[in-house]
Amino acid sequence: MNKDARILVIDDEAGLRDLLSHEFALQGYQVDTAMDGCQALEKLAQQTFQLVLCDINMPKMGGLEILEHIRKLDSDMEVIMMTGYATIEDAVMAMKKGAYDFVQKPFNLEELFQLAEKSLEKGDLRRTILELRETKKKLEATQMQLIQSEKLAGIGQLAAGVAHELNNPLSGVMGFAQLLLEDAGLTAQQRKDIETIYAQSQRCRTIIQNLLQFSRRKDPLQEVLDLAPLLLATLDLVKYDFSTSAIDLSQTVPPTLPLILGDASQLQQVFLNLLTNARQAMAGGKKGRLVIEAGQRGNKVFVRCADNGHGIPKDIQDKIFDPFFTTKPVGQGTGLGLSICYGIVQQHRGALYVESKVDAGSTFTVELPIYERL
Ligand SMILES: Nc1ncnc2c1ncn2[C@@H]1O[C@H](COP(=O)(O)OP(=O)(O)OP(=O)(O)O)[C@@H](O)[C@H]1O
Ligand SMILES: [Mg+2]
């Protein structure tokens, strides 16, 4: 039995109020009373009750009306109606409006105790289920993060090795291509071919640099930072690109945000990657609209980047943060952008996640813990 439960008895009959108050208190409950709807609403606004025993037939405000108010206040509170008229309609109406049950006056106290206990158990059960659901959600999110970080760490080591091995031969290819280009006796076609070799090698070098960056497990700098000016400066960098792509950019970024601890250039790279992806997702099709929002939520600072691009199908949403996962045509994306972002945000003890709907758009959110001065 939930003896800590607080019960509110609402009845215009002083005798019944006193009796119930006395009897329920004897059972160990904490009881309060109200003589009418107004007083009841005042008490309900001031403190939380787990159970309300409410008379249906009262002058001024009837029990059904009070029940409606209660439902608006707190959907968790259980309500048992007490009716002297016992018309089935009253009872049905009360149950429809969310009452747990009703008792008919004059009632047997033992029955009322049992009903009260059952209703309180139901409330407890509902709260436990809600808590369990919340815990399950958190566990699933943590598990996803763990899988992702293990995957990243494994691939990171491999990538670093491969990138190092490729760097030297590639420098050779580029160096010799440059040497060849200095030869005055080349035909136009030969020159064009060697230039292609050089340009393609340069592309490889960019990929290798990205790989190294992705795999470099170096800790980010620990600067005390305000993300707002950093974000605004990053937006300035891409504004021109967005305007030439005819994308509407709207931003709700306050001039300052609570400080965080981090690496400005790494975080700027996160925002740039997210903005680039958004622009690419909005290319072609309907008019692009990008909404950037930043603010504080609890002990975190968030930056949200919402586009109305082609969206991400559900079945690949958990793959997009994997290195080399790309849906772009060969030669257009390496699939490293988001995995780099994920790694950076993770090293900042933050979170990066996506919500997306195909054809409607995608929203990427970065959350970083607020710096707490010791
Ligand atoms: N805003 C977005 N809208 C729709 N899909 C997106 C968005 N951002 C990322 N994606 C999807 O996630 C995939 C991986 O993104 P990621 O940035 O890691 O690589 P990429 O953009 O394909 O290549 P890279 O960034 O290396 O040039 C993309 O290919 C795309 O399918
Ligand atoms: Mg990208």
Specify the ligand 1 atom closest to the Cα of 323: 18
What are the sequence ranges of the domains in the chain? Answer: 6-107, 146-215, 223-369
CATH no., domain 146-215: 1.10.287
Which atom of ligand 1 lies at the shortest distance from residue 340's CA? 18
Which whole number is the average pLDDT over 199-219? 78
**Amino acid at residue number 299:** N
Tens of pLDDT along 282-299? 998 789 999 999 999 999
For the cut 60, the answer to whether the pLDDT of residue 212 exceeds it is yes
Give the orientation angle of helix 109-181 with respect to helix 188-215, to 10 degrees: 150
Closest residue CA from atom 29 of ligand 1: 326
| 52: confidence class by pLDDT, cuts 50, 70, 90 | very high
Edge to edge, the sheet with strand 361-369 lists: 248-252, 289-297, 300-307, 361-369, 351-357
- Count Cα atoms within 13 angstroms, Cβ side, for 344: 25
* pLDDT tens column, 144-165: 777 777 777 777 777 778 887 8
Strands 6-10, 361-369: pairing kind: unpaired
Going from the Cα of 233 to the center of ligand 1, the distance in angstroms, rounded, reads 22
For the domain made up of 6-107, give the CATH fold.
Answer: Rossmann fold (3.40.50)
Helix (H, G, I), strand (E, B) or coil at 308: coil
Whether residue 335 has its Cβ less than 6 Å from ligand 1: yes
Residue 217: its pLDDT value, please? 54
Q: Which position has the higher pLDDT, 245 or 38?
A: 38
Going from the Cα of 336 to the center of ligand 2, the distance in angstroms, rounded, reads 7
Task: Render pLDDT for 66-95 as a digit per residue (tens, 0 to 9).
Answer: 999 998 886 678 999 998 765 678 778 888
CB 254 within 8 A of CB 296: no
Query: Which residue has the CA at smallest separation from atom 27 of ligand 1?
Result: 333
Look over the chain and give the mean of its residue pLDDT values, rounded to a whole number. Answer: 89
- pLDDT band of residue 353 (cuts 50, 70, 90) is very high
Q: Tell me if 119 CB under 6 Å of ligand 1.
A: no
* Most informative mutation of 286, 338, 354, 364 for ligand 1 (most atoms within 8 A of CB): 338
Quick one: what percent of the chain has pLDDT higher than 70? Answer: 97
Of 71-85, 150-164, 220-234, 305-319, the range with the highest mean pLDDT is 305-319
Q: Is the pLDDT of residue 168 over 90?
A: no
Query: How close is the Cα of 219 to the center of ligand 1, in Å?
Result: 25
In CATH terms, the fold of domain 223-369 is: Heat Shock Protein 90 (3.30.565)
Beta-strand ranges (E) seen in 65-220 are 78-83, 101-104
Q: Residues 332, 334, 338, 340: is their CA dihedral positive or negative? A: negative
